[in-house]
Each structure stands twice: as structure tokens, then as C-alpha cells.
């Protein structure tokens, strides 16, 4: 039954004037409180829209534009994809692998951290492979769960995580050798580009623009502006930078690494590289050199052949330099130990190459390249590390290469992108249908007040999606189910409030008093119900895996958001409505 109630303020008499005065003061206080709530809600709405802009751009982008951006602006595409809502394996397609480590092949005293070292190797390889947002989890003592969303080559991915790690120690070539090789590559490229034997598109030369952003301490290698009509005398220099303080290494922007690799793979260039030399990229971008436009740079090393291999490594750990150690006082240090044979080789190697740099390479990527300061034996150390987390990562990286035990794939599931698109379509349709049904029900049953509840419901969905995008959470198919469940729970709070308001109106209370009493008396029940559900959702998220965590995540966020919209947003709308006129009517 629908009911409209009118309330008119009394007039006349001193006592009535006093009542009016007290009422006006209460209204002023509410209005002050309303200003804060209005500002808070506006901030949340604007912040949510800002958080969802990358997602909207990705969703509305034409397929041709996506392809172009991936090829020509990989850094910008990675940033855009990273800021957008991330889709889980069941929505995007990809691979689900479970690997089992053969602990019987590892000495007993090395089994405790074998799983952690194995995860370090796998994560490093997956990062190099270019898979965004991989999910890598441990299970028990000997299993690792890997989910690779968006993988298009399952065979390559299986090979990536299944092969044995390769760890080597290589001496860097002197700076003059590197400079001479770069000059000879420049001549070959120039001759090939001008004669047509090397096409610009083959090495991405038609996309390379001249450097415009200066980096402190770095100068261009005789950089010459390049365009589609002119070919500079030194084409390779359009891709590379050099640090005058470190002539034995060159740099390249991360979005140009693939083009540099294509140059180094040319038969004409391979013929120039000495047989005892090889190029290796740094494992990580150097945080010292990042331009204002967000472009990061990686070092490209020219090394000699390996002198020491990872099978000579016994272990590595992290310590903090003491006050008696002026070179590393208070700083993290990575200590690593070689076996007897490795100690003898390392000692001879370092004694003969003091003041030169030694690269420690894992899976063809340079983890660190310290300067040899003195002859080393079985025990050596790496200093100059930024923080303890980085030192620990380096220690894990070093030990990862020494892991001799094989890992077997015990579960292998591949989800096609088309199946993921079908899941997205089905999830979207079910969400829209559920939303429309709830919206119409609230308007049909509660009329104007139902419209207020619908506004809160739409804001609730906006806030949930914004949190998923802003905090980098992953949306899964069970997560969509959590959002649908949240829609029902969100209006459930309004149902409790509205029914209580109707009871107060039937008892003869004024509209404002009924609204105040309805919210006051329903709040405890709403909080009790939602807090218990939130505790359950948090337990599911903490101890669940895969789909269960996706469901628990959206449910947890939705509960918090629904309580906010039900108790703050709808109350604000009621207060503003009742403050607008002397005659107060409520459609409920």
C-alpha cells in the first residue's frame, strides 16, 4: 500500500516560536552535515569516474587501434591495460598450469625454500615473456599454480615454465670493443637501408623518432633525427643511448628493445659479433633513468662467454653491512657461496680481472653486473643494492639457477579467448537483467523512495568497478556473480529502512521524524547483517583460491559500498528533499 503524508509547521505563540528556533538550529546543523556528505559523495563519484576512464577507453577502442597501439606504443598500451579493470583467466582466456616439483631430487637441507626459488625463476621468465598480471601461487610444499591470462601460444608458455634455469657468470667486454662493434653495425645498417637490402619496416626504423627528452648523465650516441625519407649515417644510434660514466654498456628505451633485438638478429649483424661475445639485456629497467613521459630504459650488455655456471653455486642469502664495513654500512648485501671447484675458478677469474665488471646472468638476462674490487674465493658478495626487497630478489634469482630438480606439469587447462568472450557476454547479460528487474521492482513497490534506492544501487555498482580498476584487482566470472548478489543485498538495506519508515508513519509520526527513526532503528540490523557477511567473504578470500577468491573479492567490496550508499547516500537525498519546502511529502 502506498501512502503520502503531509506535515505543516505550526505558527504563533512564544512556545511555538521557541520550537521554531530549535527546529531551525537543528536544520542548520543537518545542512552543515549535508555539506560534508555532499562533498564526500562528489569526491567518490569523480574519483570513480577517473579510475574507470582507462577501462572505458579499452572497451570502446576499435580492434585496429588496439593492434596499432600494441605495436607502435607498447609502453602506452601496457600503462593503459594496467590501469583498466583486469580480466581473469575465465573471461580473457589463457592457460592454467599446476607444476609439481620433484623434491626427491633435492638435498634434504635445501627443500624448505625450493618452492620459493622455483617461483622466483618462473616469475622472472613470465615477466620476460611479456604476460601481464600473471597469477602464481604456491600449493602445499611442492606445487605451483600458474594462471596466464591472454596467452595465445600455449606450447611456448609450457616450454617457458618447464625448462631448467640457466645461470652463468660472464665478464663484460671493454667499452672500446663495444663502441667499435656499434660503429660497425651502424655502417652495415646504413649500407643495407640505403641499398634496400634491409627494409625500414624490418627493424622498425620507420617508427623510431629522435630523442627529445634529456636524461641526466646520458648523452646520445651521435644521435641523428630519423624520418621516413632520410637515413642517418648511424641508424643504430637512433635506438641507443650511452652513459659517459659507463662506456661498457648502452641503453635503450623499453619500447624499442624488440626493434634492437630485430637488428641484432639480422644475418649481416650476426656476422659482425665476435664468436666469444654475446648481447644480454638487463633483467629490470633502471629506476635512475625514467623520462617525464614515463619511458623507462634498460641496459644492453656485451659480455664474453660464461666462465662460471650456476651448478657451482651452493647458496645465497641477504645480510646488512655493519658499521665496520664503510662500503656497505647499514645497506643490504647479497652473499653467495660457490662449491670448491667454483671457488677456485672464481678466484682465478677475479684476480685477473680486478676493476672490470662481471655480469651474473639468469636465463639470458643480467641480474646484476658489479665491479670486481678484489680476488674472490668461494664466498663473494654484491653491494650497492637499493633496498632489502631488491637484495632478497637478487638472492632468490641467484639460487634459482642452482635448482636441479625437474618440475612436472600435473594439470594443464587452456581456455580459448572465444570462450572468454562468451563468458563476458553471458555475465554482462545476467548482470543487466538482474539490475533491470531490481530497478523496476523498487520503483513499483516503493515509488519515489524506490527511485532513491535505485540511484544508490547504480552508485554502488560504479564504486565496485572503480575499486576493481583503481586497486588492480582482477574481475572473474564468479566475481560477476558476486556483483549480482551485491545488487540484491544493496536494496535489501533500503527495504529494511523503508519498511521501518512506513511503520513510523502508520504510528502517526511526522515525515521527518519517521525518516529519522527509520534510519536510526534499521542501522543496527543492517550493520549486523553486513558485518557477518563481510567476515565470511574475507575468510573465503584469505583461504580460497581462484574462482572463490574472485567471488569473495567483489562481494567484500560490494558489502562496504552498499552500506555506504544505503546509509549515507539515500539519507542525504531524503534530507535534501525534506529541507526544500515547508510541506513535506514522502512517496513510499
* Structural domain includes residue 543: yes
Q: Is the pLDDT higher at 420 or at 81? A: 81
Q: pLDDT grade, residue 384 (50/70/90)?
A: low
Of 437, 536, 430, the residue nearest 484 (C-alpha): 430
pLDDT over threshold 90, residue 236 = no
Q: What is the pLDDT of residue 49?
A: 93
Instruction: Evaluate whether residue 235 is within a structural domain.
Output: yes
Residue 553 grid cell: 573479492
- Residue 268's alpha-carbon distances to 252, 264, 272, in angstroms, are 21, 9, 7
Residue 535 located in a structural domain: yes
Q: Report d(CA 102, CA 6) in Å as an integer.
A: 77
Longest CA span, the chain: 106
Most confident by average pLDDT, 22-26, 122-126, 288-292, 570-574: 570-574
Residue 507 within any structural domain of the chain: yes
CA atoms within 13 A on the CB side of 208: 29
Question: Residue 213's pLDDT band (boundaries 50, 70, 90)?
Answer: very low
Q: Where are the alpha helices (DSSP H) in 471-510?
A: 477-506
pLDDT digits (tens, 9 = 90+) for 474-488: 888 888 888 888 888
* Inter-residue contact 555 to 537 (CB < 8 Å): yes
Rounded to whole angstroms, the Cα distance separating 228 from 210 reads: 12
Q: Three-state DSSP class for 282?
A: strand
CA angle, 284 then 288 then 290, to 5° = 85
Q: Find out whether 248 and 173 touch, Cβ atoms under 8 Å.
A: yes
pLDDT in the model for residue 217: 41
Note whether residue 295 is domain-resident: yes
* Statement to judge: residues 344 and 368 lie in one domain: yes
- In 3D space, the residue among 493, 487, 501 whose CA is nearest the CA of residue 567 turns out to be 493
Is 199 domain-assigned?
A: yes
What CATH number does residue 551 fall under?
1.20.1640.10
Structurally, how many domains does the chain consist of?
Answer: 3
Flag the least confident range among 67-81, 152-166, 343-357.
152-166
Give backbone dihedrals phi and psi of 108, rounded to 5 degrees, phi first.
Answer: -55, -40
The closest of 119, 55, 110 to 87, measured between CA atoms, is 55
Q: Is 81 helix (H, G, I), strand (E, B) or coil?
A: helix
411 & 426 share domain: no
- Comparing 160-169, 215-224, 563-572, the range with the smallest average pLDDT is 215-224
Helix axes 511-543, 547-564, angle to 10 degrees: 160
* Residues 221 and 340 reside in one and the same domain: yes
Same domain, 366 and 353: yes
Q: Are residues 358 and 260 in the same domain?
A: yes
pLDDT at 1: 43
Write out pLDDT tens, residues 500-538: 898 888 888 888 888 888 898 888 888 888 899 999 999
Rounded distance between C-alpha atoms, residue 187 and residue 184, angstroms:
5
Kindly state whether residues 400 and 479 are assigned to the same domain.
no
The half-sphere exposure of 534 on its side-chain side, counting CA atoms within 13 A, is: 14
Residues 440 and 411 both lie in one domain = no
CATH number of the CATH domain containing 117: 3.30.70.3400
pLDDT attached to residue 272:
94
Q: Answer whether residue 383 shows pLDDT above 80.
A: no
Gap between the Cα atoms of 356 and 202, Å rounded: 36
Is residue 84 one of the residues assigned to a domain? no
Closest CA to 250 of 239, 264, 266: 239
Cα–Cα distance, 421 to 122 (Å, whole number):
28
Residue pair 42/569 in contact by the 8 Å Cβ criterion:
no
CA quadruple 60, 62, 66, 68: dihedral positive or negative?
Answer: negative
pLDDT for the residue 258: 87
Asked whether 93 and 424 are in contact (CB, 8 A), the reply is no
177-206 mean pLDDT: 88
End-to-end CA distance of the chain: 9
Tell whether 259 and 209 lie within a shared domain: yes
**For residue 139, what pLDDT is reported?**
86
Q: What confidence category does residue 95 fall into, taking pLDDT thresholds of 50, 70 and 90?
A: confident
Strand partners, 279: 302
- Mapped to the 3 state alphabet, what secondary structure does 402-468 carry? CCCCCEEEEEEEEECHHHHHHHHHHHHHHHHHHHHHHHHHHHHHHHHHHHHHHHHHHHHHHHHHHHH
Residue 149 lies in domain? 94-163+396-415
Length of the chain: 588
Residue from 105, 107, 160 nearest 131 by CA: 160
Together in a domain, 378 and 449: no
pLDDT surpasses 70 at 100? yes
Helix (H) or strand (E) holding 552: helix 547-564
Residue 10 pLDDT exceeds 70: no
Lowest mean pLDDT among 160-169, 426-435, 458-467, 559-568: 160-169
CA distance 20 to 168: 85
Q: What is the CA radius of gyration of the chain?
A: 32
Identify which has the larger pLDDT, 7 or 551.
551
Q: How far apart are CA 287 and CA 387, in angstroms?
A: 13
What are the distances in angstroms from CA 495 to CA 452, 519, 571?
Answer: 12, 11, 13
pLDDT score, position 288: 62
Same domain, 368 and 310: yes
- Give every CB contact of residue 353 below 8 A, 6+ residues apart in sequence: 171, 372
**Average of per-residue pLDDT values in the chain:** 79
If you average pLDDT over each of 213-222, 319-328, 355-364, 408-417, which comes out highest?
A: 355-364
**409-436: b (≥16 Cβ within 10 Å) or e:** eeeeebbeeeebeebbeebeeebeeebe
pLDDT at 584 (0 to 100): 60
Per-residue 3-state assignment (H helix, E strand, C coil) for 225-259: CCCCCCCCCCHHHHCEEEECCEEEEEEEEHHHHHH
Neighbours of 469 (CB within 10 A): 22
Regarding whether 520 and 402 lie in a shared domain, the answer is no
Flag whether 484 is in a domain: yes
pLDDT tens per residue across span 47-81: 999 999 999 998 888 888 887 887 777 778 878 88
How much is the pLDDT for 5?
39
Report the range out of 58-62, 134-138, 243-247, 423-427 with the highest average pLDDT: 58-62
The per-residue b/e assignment along 482-521, b for 16 or more CB within 10 angstroms, e otherwise, is bbbbbbebbbebbbbbbebbbebbeeebbbbebbbbbbee
pLDDT surpasses 90 at 46: yes
Closest by CA to 289, choosing from 319, 325, 245, is: 245
Task: Tell me how many degrees the CA angle 168-144-130 measures, rounded to the nearest 5.
Answer: 60
State whether 462 and 404 are in the same domain.
no
DSSP structural state of residue 215: B
Amino acid at each position: 500500500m502506498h501512502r503520502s503524508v503531509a506535515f505543516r509547521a505550526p505558527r504563533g505563540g512564544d512556545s511555538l516560536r521557541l520550537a521554531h528556533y530549535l527546529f531551525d538550529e537543528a536544520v542548520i546543523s543537518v545542512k552543515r552535515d549535508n555539506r560534508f556528505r555532499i562533498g564526500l559523495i562528489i569526491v567518490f563519484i569523480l574519483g570513480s569516474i577517473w579510475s574507470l576512464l582507462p577501462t572505458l577507453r579499452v572497451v570502446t577502442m576499435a580492434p585496429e587501434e588496439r593492434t596499432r597501439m600494441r605495436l607502435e606504443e607498447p609502453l602506452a598500451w601496457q600503462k593503459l591495460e594496467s590501469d583498466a579493470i583486469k580480466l581473469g583467466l575465465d573471461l580473457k582466456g589463457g592457460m592454467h598450469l599446476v607444476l609439481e616439483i620433484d623434491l626427491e631430487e633435492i638435498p634434504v637441507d635445501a627443500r624448505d625454500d625450493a618452492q620459493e626459488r622455483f617461483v622466483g625463476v618462473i616469475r622472472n621468465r613470465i615477466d620476460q615473456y611479456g604476460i601481464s598480471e600473471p597469477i602464481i601461487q604456491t600449493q602445499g610444499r611442492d606445487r605451483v599454480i600458474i594462471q596466464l591470462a591472454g596467452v595465445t601460444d600455449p606450447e611456448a608458455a609450457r616450454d617457458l615454465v618447464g625448462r631448467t634455469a640457466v645461470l652463468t657468470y660472464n665478464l663484460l667486454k671493454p667499452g672500446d670493443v663495444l663502441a667499435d662493434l656499434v660503429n660497425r653495425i651502424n655502417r652495415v645498417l646504413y649500407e643495407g637501408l640505403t641499398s634496400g637490402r634491409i627494409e625500414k619496416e624490418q627493424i622498425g626504423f620507420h617508427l623510431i623518432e629522435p630523442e627529445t627528452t634529456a636524461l641526466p648523465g646520458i648523452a646520445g650516441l651521435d644521435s641523428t633525427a630519423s624520418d621516413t625519407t632520410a637515413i642517418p649515417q648511424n641508424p643504430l644510434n637512433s635506438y641507443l643511448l650511452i652513459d659517459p660514466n659507463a662506456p661498457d654498456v648502452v641503453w635503450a628505451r623499453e619500447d624499442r628493445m624488440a626493434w634492437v633485438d630485430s637488428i641484432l638478429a639480422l644475418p649481416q649483424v650476426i656476422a659482425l659479433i665476435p664468436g666469444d661475445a654475446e648481447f644480454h639485456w638487463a633483467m629490470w629497467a633502471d629506476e635512475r633513468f625514467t623520462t617525464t613521459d614515463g619511458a623507462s630504459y634498460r641496459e644492453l650488455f656485451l659480455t664474453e662467454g660464461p666462465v662460471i655456471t650456476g651448478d657451482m653455486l651452493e647458496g645465497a642469502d641477504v645480510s646488512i653491512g655493519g658499521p665496520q664495513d664503510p662500503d656497505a654500512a647499514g645497506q643490504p648485501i647479497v652473499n653467495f657461496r660457490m662449491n670448491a671447484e667454483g671457488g677456485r675458478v672464481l678466484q682465478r677469474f677475479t684476480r685477473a680481472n680486478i676493476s672490470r665488471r662481471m655480469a651474473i646472468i639468469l636465463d639470458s638476462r643480467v641480474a646484476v653486473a658489479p665491479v670486481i674490487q678484489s680476488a674472490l674465493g668461494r664466498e663473494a658478495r654484491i653491494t650497492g643494492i637499493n633496498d632489502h626487497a631488491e637484495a632478497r630478489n637478487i638472492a632468490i634469482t641467484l639460487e634459482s639457477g642452482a635448482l636441479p630438480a625437474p618440475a612436472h606439469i600435473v594439470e594443464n587447462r587452456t581456455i580459448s579467448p572465444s570462450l572468454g568472450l562468451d563468458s563476458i557476454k553471458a555475465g554482462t547479460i545476467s548482470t543487466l537483467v538482474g539490475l533491470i528487474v531490481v530497478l523496476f521492482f523498487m520503483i513499483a513497490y516503493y515509488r519515489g523512495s524506490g527511485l532513491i534506492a535505485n540511484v544508490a544501487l547504480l552508485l554502488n555498482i560504479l564504486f565496485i568497478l572503480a575499486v576493481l580498476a583503481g586497486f588492480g584487482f582482477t574481475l572473474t566470472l564468479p566475481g560477476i556473480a558476486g556483483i549480482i548478489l551485491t545488487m540484491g543485498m544493496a536494496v535489501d538495506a533500503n527495504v529494511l529502512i523503508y519498511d521501518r519508515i512506513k511503520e513510523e508513519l502508520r504510528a502517526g509520526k511526522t515525515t521527518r521524524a519517521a525518516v529519522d527513526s527509520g534510519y536510526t532503528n534499521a542501522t543496527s540490523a543492517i550493520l549486523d547483517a553486513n558485518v557477518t557477511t563481510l567476515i565470511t567473504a574475507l575468510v573465503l578470500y584469505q583461504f580460497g583460491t581462484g574462482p572463490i577468491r574472485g567471488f569473495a573479492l567483489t562481494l567484500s567490496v560490494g558489502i562496504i559500498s552498499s552500506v555506504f550508499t544505503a546509509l549515507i547516500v539515500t539519507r542525504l537525498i531524503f534530507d535534501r528533499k525534506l529541507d526544500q519546502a515547508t510541506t513535506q511529502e514522502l512517496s513510499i
